[in-house]
Structure 1
Amino acid sequence: MTGALDPARKAALTAGETGYRTPAEPAVGLRPVYLVDGPLGLVSPTFDERDTSLLLPSGIALGATWDPDVVRSVAAAEGSEARSRGFDAVYAPNLNLARTGLSGRTFEMLSEDPLLAGVLGAAFVEGLQGQGVAAVPKHLVCNDTETERQRMSADVDDTALREVYLRPFEHAVRAGAWAMMTAYNRLNGTPCAAHAELLAIVKDEWGFDGIVISDYFALHETLGPALAGLDLEMPGPAIHFGARLAEAVERGDVPRERLDDAVTRLLRLARRVGALDGSSPQVTAPDVPPHEVLTDAAVASFVLCRNEDELLPLAPGTRLAVIGPNADRPCYQGATFGRIRPEGGVTTPVEALRKRFPVSYERGVDSVPAVSLGAFDVSTPDGQPGVLLEHFRDGELVLSEVRGDSAFIWFGHVPGVGATTGPGVLRLTAVCTPTADGRWTFAAGGSGTTVLSVDGTVLASRPAPAPGDVMGQVARAETTGAEVELRAGQPVTVVAEMTSAGSRVQALTVTCAPPPVPGALARAVRAAAEADAVVLVVGDELETSRESRDLESSALPAAQVELIREVCRANPRTVVVVNAGRPVDAPWAGFAGAVLQGWFAGQGFADALARVLAGDDEPGGRMPVTVPLRDEDRSTHGETLDADLRRNYTAAEPTGYRHLARTGTRARFAFGSGSGYTTFHFGPSRWDGRRVRLDVTNTGARRGREVVQVYVRAPGEADARLAGFAGVRLAPGETAEVEVVLEGRVWQRWREGRWQVPPGRHEVLVGRSAEEVVEVLEHEV
């Protein structure tokens, strides 16, 4: 089909037309291909809060299921919604690894382990593509931290690169992924989007026949990415591909065959998703009931790390004190460009638990985090609910609209206004009616010079970002603000005005925080002492995990740690629910009666939590990451960028549970650990050179799930690595044979430029976690 196009028209197909679609080409029967970000659900292409979608369990929550079927069903729900809304490809899953536990996007990642991330990532690919929608696994490769992500270099030796960081992507390719996205960062000094050796592994060695897409604005030149094998520059309109690529082909700097390959891959994707005349989406799986799937997935993701004296499940009629900042304001996602507005709203934990138990509620901490100004009691100057957003170009008002949010981002084009590269002024006006006396905090920031005023008095101002950091500052949603004394019920007018000289992205964020409410801890302690049991929900807020910024520590805020200690002292029958998208430091765990990892479990979080605490279901998850006794126990602790913005991955290898095994250090919550509401017995294991078989018996009084985990240790190695796993659900007293198949790659190591199986005696470890091994078998090579 490419023969019908001249080089210029071919090259026009190598860049997006906008931020979310590719160009059409009638000569070959090609309509636009519509692409959307989607690791936690379908992101509005114009980042419009009025566009809602399903809010999925985050990557780390899906990783905690240790269940490909659950992951596949969640991805199918997203794929079905995408197809119904006209999207052809979804940027998901995130296959980077939670190697430090401190990345600003840990919540999107499936695991610290490459095999678990790979198996579950492959299931996500299958679930999406079963609905005729392309999966776009990302970010190839080593985009495992956010600090300076567009400039830093991950310096990794070939062994770690092949055995660890590329493994999940290889699984995705073997699962048939139709597309893949390259990362912002450099790999050993070369940008991933222009890394010929990297893309040769994917396309030539693995046989990937899909399209390779750049992360947004990741390209800085034409020749490097084109010659390396990148196929599509995003977003559009073209900057470095398109016309510039056509010129490079005309000069002979880029072979015509390379251009033909890029276009062929786009057309192949178009055929698969039904974007070519005569084609239709390759739908191979039925639709799934989305809300049921998402709640069941949340249940499957919860990990019970501690349950002293069988505190859980709670008996009917238990008088509960529900406490904690996340009980009435749970966190579902981090602050990224890909933020989801869930359809129909969501239930909070305290609301869900009130349907099942007698409940008293206390927040427990004095402070309330800043959130979007639109979340408060605000109106436009003429009294409409929401905020007034006005766009000016050349001093003239070109668009005025009422919006329900106060955080806005546009890539390339502002609907109804024009290109973001044009200079202009964006003004937000809101009449805010305080609900309490005290010092309220307002803040604002954006892609240009931003001035914030309250009742005509300038409260704060923020200069425009440096030209090279516009994307970073917008991603971090950096704001400047100040306090102002307000009286309850007395409205004030808040105005934020952002003046931009024009850039590839435009943004404005305005936040508000009410005054603290003193005495919250004392009230929470009294409520705890008077209750039969306590459900204490702690964890992250939206700003905890943020794109373009990493965390400094894995600890909870000091006020939450104090709350846990004091509430557990007042009532040892306390269930601490950790609502966080990352491994959280838990030196307080021994004070609690039970500890439940709740992650960012999607829109079904609260209902799933009530079901699990009441005993309708058991928590079915296992830890997809390690929680060490302290951050200093990690091999990556103290790892930083050097003066040349290089991060030495090799020096920290291996990371996670493998590092702890090498140093003989116990974890607080081990990789793979977790329990339910029953007990299991593992019978003797049988090994036939390809699979482990063993009988597993439910020895408790309830139906439950166990996960058999198999690790391997090659001759001379000090640590074992996950090689396979299988889950089984059994009724009380039931026994079933469980089979764990080990693929050939688990024995191989990358040595001297090729895969080799070390000769000698390999150990095959069978157990319940990386630290709880019940039997060791041998495999001779």
Structure 2
Amino acid sequence: MHDHIEHLLSQLDLEQKVRLVSGSGLWRTCGEAQIGLRPIVLSDGPSGVRGERPFDERDPSVCLPCPSALAATWDEDLMARLTELVATEALRKGARAVLGPTINIHRSPLSGRHFECFSEDPLLTARMAVVYVRTLQSFGISSAPKHYVANDSETDRFTVDVQVDECTLRELYLKPFEYVVSAGAWMLMAAYNSVNGYTMTESPLLSDPLKGEWGFDGVVVSDWTAVRSTETAGRAGTDLAMPGPSAEWGQPLVTAVKEERVPEAAIDDKVRRILRLACRVGAVEGVERAVLAFPNVADSGGLLREAAASSMVLIHNPDELLPLDANDLRRIAVIGPNAERSQIQGGGSAGVTPTYSISALEGIRAAVGQCVEVAHHKGVDVGGTLRPAPTEAFVNLHTGEHGFQVQFLDASGTVVDVENRRATTLIWTLAELSDVKTIEARARFRAPGNGKHTLGVAGRGHYVVEASGEVLIDDFAKPRDDFAAEAPTYLDGELMLNQDQQVDITVKYEVPTTGQIAEIIIALKEPTWPDDESIASSARLAQMADAAIVVVGTTASDESEGADRTTLSLPGRQDDLVYAVAAANPRTVVVVNSGAPILMPWHLDVASVLISWFPGQEFGNALADVLFGAREPNGRLPTTWWNYQDESILPQTCPQDGRLNYTEGIHIGYRTPITVREQPAYPFGHGLGYTTWEYLSIETAEKLDIGQATWVHIQVSNTGRRTGREVVQVYLQRTDSAYQRPRIWLAGFAPVVAQPGEMVEVAVELEARVFEHWSPMSRRWEIEPGTFTVLGGRSAVDLRLHTEITFDSKVVP
């Protein structure tokens, strides 16, 4: 491949080369017919493959459980099967590179994109990411792990300068990237933020350790619009500026090279890497893809259902109320704001338009059928915010189907095109609208209740919204980012309507002349009862039921790219709702439908607590499987759930004077030194399942040689009444270290399945690397002589077995 790349490069002049180092639009790289180079389609991908039309319901996407949920499975085999589904989707949508996985660290649960990352632990993050990278690329589709590096929060994300010491950077935040490079990643994405004074698209970290020490031979693509300079970025390690054409890397970069302010050798290196990627994914004529295998997922719905159930974490079940026996139930109360409008995914660029979505209420009703009455109440309003309107609230009068008719008008007012859309989020690229001056969307709205209905619209530009000829909104919307990743800010107007009253809605929109996209996002807030009345009604409903299931959680506005949370508390009065229902019915199960940890002041006052995360489109079916015992909740927490929102425990996400100081160093999550008062509500690695386990013995080598990996052998026994799956976890501890160490750290894990009464031996591999620390003096990895304690158990707190491994002398790998 090397000689062919050099041959292709030699045929290009400077202008052609500079053209190739920026995109040709929002989601495509540039092609070059002279050398047989075709454009490569890039697609966002952490929760599904969005493709080039990410919000077009006519080309929907499979919606996977969010990455935090996938990490909660601690199941690399399942991760591989899900990634094969991602490959299937990528090929269907014509994408040859998927922008993921997100391998930043759960530094703080307040982070807006917490749900989009795997874990607070670098090893668990790395192992899940390596499976994703290897599996996706085994089908000739590039991964692009992101965001390199320390992009662990969203506040001031374009400008924040993260201050972090070298040891912390190496041992926590760079480690997952080092693993995926070692696994052969073909792309990485450089982040928006700065680290120690350098914006990441210009950072020396792109040269070392990435391209130098680690030997990364792939493409560094910028996060969208993150290339901000011509000369500095042109000389640095970013290879591809997206989207394009880039104003910084167009003619200004050609001029900078000609004037010798940027060496042409730097441009040549970028183009070589882009050509290498093109050869690998089959975008060069006459060059076959690096891999010719094709994915084959026969039952995507079944796989997604299995994955969602496997990710669910049963954290509290002292009297074993779960699993419920449907044969013993006559009436179930399903309560809570997320029961009927369940949150299957977070907000931002990870979101997709799903092929379908099963709510918690739908899944439960389908599971019990006609034999059990299912009563429902919303419970409380979650904070009074507008949310994207359900398509079912509107009828296209021209088709009779749910949705809008959309007309496109030119400058003379002539209709040049018409679309019938079954959606309330409508987004187009400006390239599609070159002859369009205005867009008009029309539908009939049927009021779902009595009282005040708030209609909203968001996007960029000027909007006029009319209801049966009456102007509700006439204003300019606050624009969000140019690729529809951040949560929208809505303009709104109010309608006083009776239930089932109908009004004709017209949205008139002036297409913007700058940027990349045009969008109309319709939102709705339905009439609500006062919370006190709703909570009382919910409690009465629960009191008359054999069991109550309360589905609480967050929304895509609460957890989204572009903003961090300010509180871990549930939105609105959901806590009061849980207390009231639990007081009315002791057989209350709480399902937490959030992507990141929340505070649960009621967790010991209810019978069971089940964490469902943002579980993807099969949520309701998977939830019913777990609630009624068809599947065991196999999940284990990939991050710590705290009892308090205490600044002494939780790192903050708000910069001061433009800087965000990682003063906690390596001590995050379960690694944090904690007092009795600060014990977490539920620790990293915790999860109960539907059986019980006894840990019997632990064995390993007493001494290790230089660079030697080892195995830890742990015997466990299933002491429960049903077959179950356990995740055996091994941690290391060094109490007499001369170096700064975390309290304990994860060194390995392995899942095991056992029948009731069966004893099994589990072998957990410990790589040589897990014993190493980063030495700031020698600036390399070292192993400290002395004794490491090896701890085996069920979580970072429940460690039932221990042994020791000794290194006799200082080892420098």
The bucket for the TM-score relative to the shorter chain is: over 0.9
Per the alignment, do residues 208 and 139 of structure 1 end up closer, same or farther by CA in structure 2, a change over 3 Å counting?
same
CA-CA distance at 1:582 after TM superposition: 0.6
Per the alignment, do residues 460 and 416 of structure 1 end up closer, same or farther by CA in structure 2, a change over 3 Å counting?
closer
CA-CA distance at 1:441 after TM superposition: 0.3
**AA in 2 matched with 1:53:** S
Q: Report the 3-state secondary structure (helix = DSSP H, G, I; strand = E; otherwise coil) of the residue aligned with 1:726.
A: strand
Per the alignment, do residues 633 and 651 of structure 1 end up closer, same or farther by CA in structure 2, a change over 3 Å counting?
closer
CA-CA distance at 1:662 after TM superposition: 7.3
**AA in 2 matched with 1:69:** D
TM alignment of 1:206-225, pairs within 5 A = 206-225=214-233
Asked if 2 retains the 8 angstrom alpha-carbon contact of 1:219 and 1:233, the reply is yes
**AA in 2 matched with 1:291:** G
TM alignment of 1:525-674, pairs within 5 A = 525-632=539-646, 635-643=649-657, 645-651=658-664, 653-661=666-674, 665-674=678-687
CA-CA distance at 1:243 after TM superposition: 3.6
User: Which has the higher mean CA deviation after the structures are superposed, 630-639 or 77-86?
Assistant: 630-639
Asked if 2 retains the 8 angstrom alpha-carbon contact of 1:40 and 1:55, the reply is yes
CA-CA distance at 1:535 after TM superposition: 1.9
2:180 matched to 1:175?
no
**AA in 1 matched with 2:14:** P
Asked if 2 retains the 8 angstrom alpha-carbon contact of 1:65 and 1:622, the reply is yes
**AA in 2 matched with 1:329:** R
Per the alignment, do residues 429 and 16 of structure 1 end up closer, same or farther by CA in structure 2, a change over 3 Å counting?
same
Aligned to 1:687, which of 682, 691, 700? 700
Aligned to 1:678, which of 684, 691, 694? 691
2:738 matched to 1:726?
no
* 1:334-360 deviation per Cα after TM superposition (whole angstroms, max 9, x unaligned): 2213421222x2222222222333132
2:304 matched to 1:294?
yes
Partner Cα distance (1:754, 1:775) in 2? 32
| Aligned counterpart, 2:83 | 75
Per the alignment, do residues 721 and 350 of structure 1 end up closer, same or farther by CA in structure 2, a change over 3 Å counting?
same
| Aligned counterpart, 1:700 | 720
Partner Cα distance (1:123, 1:702) in 2? 30
2:758 matched to 1:740?
no
Asked if 1 retains the 8 angstrom alpha-carbon contact of 2:153 and 2:564, the reply is yes
TM alignment of 1:181-580, pairs within 5 A = 181-281=189-289, 282-284=291-293, 286-289=295-298, 290-317=300-327, 318-319=329-330, 320-343=332-355, 345-357=356-368, 358-367=372-381, 370-373=386-389, 375-380=391-396, 382=398, 384-385=400-401, 386-392=403-409, 394=411, 396-397=413-414, 398-410=416-428, 413-417=430-434, 424-463=437-476, 465=478, 470-471=481-482, 475-499=486-510, 500-517=512-529, 519-580=533-594
Per the alignment, do residues 664 and 261 of structure 1 end up closer, same or farther by CA in structure 2, a change over 3 Å counting?
farther
Asked if 1 retains the 8 angstrom alpha-carbon contact of 2:395 and 2:404, the reply is yes
Percent identity, please: 37
Per the alignment, do residues 332 and 526 of structure 1 end up closer, same or farther by CA in structure 2, a change over 3 Å counting?
same
User: Which has the higher mean CA deviation after the structures are superposed, 33-42 or 126-135?
Assistant: 126-135
CA-CA distance at 1:226 after TM superposition: 2.2
Asked if 1 retains the 8 angstrom alpha-carbon contact of 2:446 and 2:501, the reply is yes
**AA in 1 matched with 2:297:** V
2:779 matched to 1:765?
no
2:122 matched to 1:114?
yes
CA-CA distance at 1:579 after TM superposition: 1.0
Per the alignment, do residues 757 and 45 of structure 1 end up closer, same or farther by CA in structure 2, a change over 3 Å counting?
same
Aligned-residue Cα RMSD (Å) equals 2.3
Asked if 1 retains the 8 angstrom alpha-carbon contact of 2:386 and 2:490, the reply is no
Per the alignment, do residues 208 and 766 of structure 1 end up closer, same or farther by CA in structure 2, a change over 3 Å counting?
same
CA-CA distance at 1:463 after TM superposition: 3.7
Asked if 2 retains the 8 angstrom alpha-carbon contact of 1:154 and 1:646, the reply is yes
CA-CA distance at 1:208 after TM superposition: 1.1
Asked if 1 retains the 8 angstrom alpha-carbon contact of 2:381 and 2:572, the reply is no
**AA in 2 matched with 1:197:** L
* 1:302-359 deviation per Cα after TM superposition (whole angstroms, max 9, x unaligned): 111011211111123123222222222111112213421222x222222222233313
* 1:339-384 deviation per Cα after TM superposition (whole angstroms, max 9, x unaligned): 21222x2222222222333132222424376333462432346565
Partner Cα distance (1:462, 1:38) in 2? 34
**AA in 1 matched with 2:124:** L
Partner Cα distance (1:511, 1:681) in 2? 52
* 1:712-742 deviation per Cα after TM superposition (whole angstroms, max 9, x unaligned): 2233346111111111111112222211111
TM alignment of 1:14-25, pairs within 5 A = 14-25=21-32
TM-score (norm 2): 0.90
Partner Cα distance (1:51, 1:131) in 2? 22
* 1:688-729 deviation per Cα after TM superposition (whole angstroms, max 9, x unaligned): 142211112112121111111111223334611111111111
Where do 5+ consecutive residues of structure 1 fail to align?
none
Asked if 2 retains the 8 angstrom alpha-carbon contact of 1:628 and 1:634, the reply is no
Partner Cα distance (2:748, 2:494) in 1? 54
Partner Cα distance (1:360, 1:464) in 2? 42
Partner Cα distance (1:155, 1:259) in 2? 30
Asked if 1 retains the 8 angstrom alpha-carbon contact of 2:155 and 2:653, the reply is no
Per the alignment, do residues 284 and 681 of structure 1 end up closer, same or farther by CA in structure 2, a change over 3 Å counting?
farther
CA-CA distance at 1:602 after TM superposition: 1.2
Aligned to 1:755, which of 781, 784, 787? 781
Per the alignment, do residues 367 and 663 of structure 1 end up closer, same or farther by CA in structure 2, a change over 3 Å counting?
closer
CA-CA distance at 1:92 after TM superposition: 1.1
Per the alignment, do residues 516 and 626 of structure 1 end up closer, same or farther by CA in structure 2, a change over 3 Å counting?
same
**AA in 1 matched with 2:671:** R
**AA in 2 matched with 1:170:** E
Asked if 2 retains the 8 angstrom alpha-carbon contact of 1:97 and 1:114, the reply is yes
**AA in 2 matched with 1:760:** G
| Aligned counterpart, 1:133 | 141
CA-CA distance at 1:478 after TM superposition: 0.6
Per the alignment, do residues 758 and 489 of structure 1 end up closer, same or farther by CA in structure 2, a change over 3 Å counting?
same
Q: Report the 3-state secondary structure (helix = DSSP H, G, I; strand = E; otherwise coil) of the residue aligned with 1:631.
A: coil
Partner Cα distance (1:598, 1:464) in 2? 34
**AA in 2 matched with 1:2:** L
CA-CA distance at 1:246 after TM superposition: 2.9
Q: Report the 3-state secondary structure (helix = DSSP H, G, I; strand = E; otherwise coil) of the residue aligned with 2:520.
A: strand
Per the alignment, do residues 653 and 409 of structure 1 end up closer, same or farther by CA in structure 2, a change over 3 Å counting?
farther
**AA in 1 matched with 2:804:** E
CA-CA distance at 1:498 after TM superposition: 4.0
CA-CA distance at 1:472 after TM superposition: 9.5
User: Which has the higher mean CA deviation after the structures are superposed, 488-497 or 120-129?
Assistant: 488-497
Per the alignment, do residues 380 and 679 of structure 1 end up closer, same or farther by CA in structure 2, a change over 3 Å counting?
closer
Partner Cα distance (2:485, 2:118) in 1? 25
Q: Report the 3-state secondary structure (helix = DSSP H, G, I; strand = E; otherwise coil) of the residue aligned with 1:589.
A: coil
* 1:101-144 deviation per Cα after TM superposition (whole angstroms, max 9, x unaligned): 11111111101111111111111112212222111111111111
**AA in 1 matched with 2:729:** Q
Per the alignment, do residues 474 and 267 of structure 1 end up closer, same or farther by CA in structure 2, a change over 3 Å counting?
closer
Partner Cα distance (2:40, 2:293) in 1? 20
Partner Cα distance (2:428, 2:675) in 1? 47
Partner Cα distance (1:370, 1:403) in 2? 21
CA-CA distance at 1:523 after TM superposition: 3.0
Per the alignment, do residues 342 and 27 of structure 1 end up closer, same or farther by CA in structure 2, a change over 3 Å counting?
same
Per the alignment, do residues 432 and 741 of structure 1 end up closer, same or farther by CA in structure 2, a change over 3 Å counting?
same
User: Which has the higher mean CA deviation after the structures are superposed, 277-286 or 740-749?
Assistant: 277-286
**AA in 1 matched with 2:570:** L
